[in-house]
Amino acid sequence: MDEKIIRSRTYVLGMRQLLKKSALFSDETEEFQSPMESKPGEKVTVRFRTARNNVDSVYVVLPYRKIRMQVTEQRNGFDYYSAEITAGDYEIYYYFQIRNGKTTCYYNKLGVQKDEPKKEYAFRIIPGFSTPDWAKGAVMYQIYPDRFYNGDPYNDVVSEEYSYINQHVKKVDDWYKNPENMDVRNFYGGDLQGVIDKMDYLKDLGIEVLYLNPIFVSASNHKYDTQDYEHVDPHLGRILHDADGLLGWGDLDNTHAKKYIARVTNKENLRASDRLFARLVEEAHKRGMKVIIDGVFNHCGSFNRWMDRERIYEGKEGFKPGAFVAEDSPYHSYFEFHEGSQWPYNGNYNGWWGHNTLPKLNYENSKELQEDILRIGRKWVSPPYNADGWRLDVAADLGHTEEFNHYFWKEFRKAVKDANPNAIILAEHYGDAAAWLKGDEWDTVMNYDAFMEPLSWFFTGMEKHSDSYREDLLGNADSYIDAMRYHMASFTAPSLLTAMNELDNHDHSRFLTRTNHRVGRVQSLGSEAASEDIRPSVLREAVVVQMTWPGAPTVYYGDEAGVCGFTDPDNRRTYPWGREDKELIRFYKEIIHIHNEHQVLRTGSTMILTRDYNAFSYGRFNAEEQIAVLINNRTQEYAFEVPVWQLGIDRTEEDSYVEQLFITAQDTYSAERSRIPLKAGVVQMQVPPESAVVLLHR
């Protein structure tokens, strides 16, 4: 043989294979960090995936050492490297170092890195931190009780029953009437009996968890100004004992509101309402559903019995004097009164954001307040009520300092978890929540940064309140994916898999309204504009992502029925019973069913596969099954070439295929199944405009 040919062959055979960066993968799910939720002292196996025979070495890098990993499995064209780490008593950070000849790279939560990364985006092990299994990937349904369904007309708020923010409250007789601009004192009559009456509908929809906006005694329809944390509001519960006595024209003095006072202070009304809530939870549990309640512990309301600015409780048997009424009130330390205060009837106190209708609770100076809130936290997750967890309103703003807030939420977690170890603690929070998600405070958060906001910008170009439109973010897959990656890195897997993934809620415009790109609020645009030029096909695309992305997909009541609305108060329209978009409801049922049918959509790994203008694809995968999701938000067809082999699918297998589980497009959707052929582990597929496709391989 010619010597030149021999040298050439020797060179080729000795060539080092280029590093296949697209094959590199690890995360914090059970597949790559086992156990995912470890106990102190337990051995944790971490794994890293590479292409078969593609690297020289892989190390797991810890703060003070690194461990060489060993190949422990070869499967479907991949090598799986493993190493053991012993979980101590403290949080452990790690990332990976990969070597191929002279090439060295690193891998952390942001993916492949050229330079040695900082710990901010490292993988983490938090010994002793676990979140309830029932909440991982659970389909939740948020209910604003006054607007969902009226199951008991006898408990309805009556017009002129009392005064709230300088006007009489009003009963809205037309269930289908859109909310007014100043809607806080208008009541439609929805209640807990209504939730019970519609529970079979929710079960049939595929809902697994009910999240109720506040249900405790309160003077507003939203009830974020709690009047009595000890009891469910009889206007949502049961009124066994009533009275006459409405306010006359121009009378704003609530000491004259005899009907209201009787309704909310009568012990039998309060106990009956509490029992109805216990029954609601029992009915949910019978159907395999959980119930989360809303805790507003940052501030209360001026009607609150600890303050009693409205003098609802003054002189009533069984109630102690409020801090507004008497200087020697046992609740005096619960609030901060300013210098120069004089009693009785002292309104010179600190209000949340300056609102005297929202007295700020003064935790740092009141051990008694702390103990009361901890007791309330335990009470409602314990028998006979047995709620399955708390959603915490503006949780990071509880006290006056971040240091105290961390202290208190640690105490709150101990109290709640001691009472009900399987309860979830879920906080409202904007911004990076990593400091609160270290295993000893919150379990997870309402996922604004790593879900609602990036999703809204990509699909609609709209800010979540409809306050602005940015064409540069509409369809910007790079911005969407980078935002998701960056913000998801703040979570460990136990928090990420339970994060409340919403398209909208009671604080933001309805997602369906955002699809019309109208900037503004109901005050300037009018309520009819919220339903004009909407694009249900775009909503359906977003819902497919919601049901296939890591976290707990949360449906805001009525979204599945086609409810529109600008931001608060227009987003709080009633559920349109009898006028529902039944085709949209059927769509929700189909896609929720797919979510509930596949465990990989609850706890599997996540990988971005392709990205382009107004189009991207991603996968959820574990060893048993792999799901790919293709999103085309363009108004034209799009040709996808999706490397699904990256999800662990063998690309050498002949006659291989993926199964199309679901497709939604501009004018239709279908759950009819069909086979899509694979070519060398790649799906080639022409996808119609404004569509989402879900593919399965197992």
- Cα–Cα distance for residue pair 621/147, rounded to 1 Å: 39
Report whether 233 contacts 273 (CB < 8 A): yes
The DSSP output letter for 147 is G
Strand stretches in 159-288, DSSP E: 163-164, 167-168, 170-171, 186-187, 209-212, 216-218, 226-232
β-pairing verdict for 43-51 and 78-86:
antiparallel
Q: Which of 393, 463, 560, 568 is catalytic?
A: 393
Contacts of residue 444, defined as CB under 8 A and 6 or more positions apart, other chains included, come to 131, 135, 424, 426, 427, 437, 491, 494, 495, 496, 498, 499, 500
Tell me the β-bridge partners of 294: 391
Neighbours of 211 (CB within 10 A): 26
Nearest to 138 by CA among 381, 336, 424, 503: 424
Q: What is the CA radius of gyration of the chain?
A: 28
The span from the CA of 94 to the CA of 377, in Å, is: 35
Please tell me the distance from the alpha carbon of residue 274 to that of residue 278, in angstroms, as a whole number: 6
Q: What angle do CA 522, 523, 529 make, to 5 degrees?
A: 35
Question: Residue 98 phi/psi, 5° resolution?
Answer: -120, 130
Residue with tokens 């979980």: 87
β-sheet bridge partners, residue 494: none
Burial class (CB in 10 A: 0-12, 13-18, 19+), 467: middle
Do 546 and 560 form a contact (C-beta atoms < 8 A)? no
Q: CA neighbours within 13 Å on the CB side: how many for 433? A: 28
**Phi-psi sector, 181: left (phi>0), alpha (psi -120 to 50), beta:** alpha
| Residue entry with tokens 């216990």 | 278
Q: Which of 428, 443, 463, 568 is catalytic?
A: 428
Question: Rounded to whole angstroms, how far apart are CA atoms 140 and 135?
Answer: 9
- Cα 307 to the chain's mean position, in Å? 32
Is residue 310 flagged as an active site residue? Answer: no
DSSP 148: T
428 catalytic residue (yes or no):
yes
First to last CA, the chain: 48
Find how far residue 608's CA is from the centre of its chain.
Answer: 21
Q: Alpha-carbon distance 487 to 449, whole Å?
A: 6
Distance CA 606, CA 668 (A): 27
Q: What distance in Å separates the CA atoms of residue 167 and residue 155, rounded to the nearest whole number?
A: 21
Catalytic positions, written as ranges = 393, 428
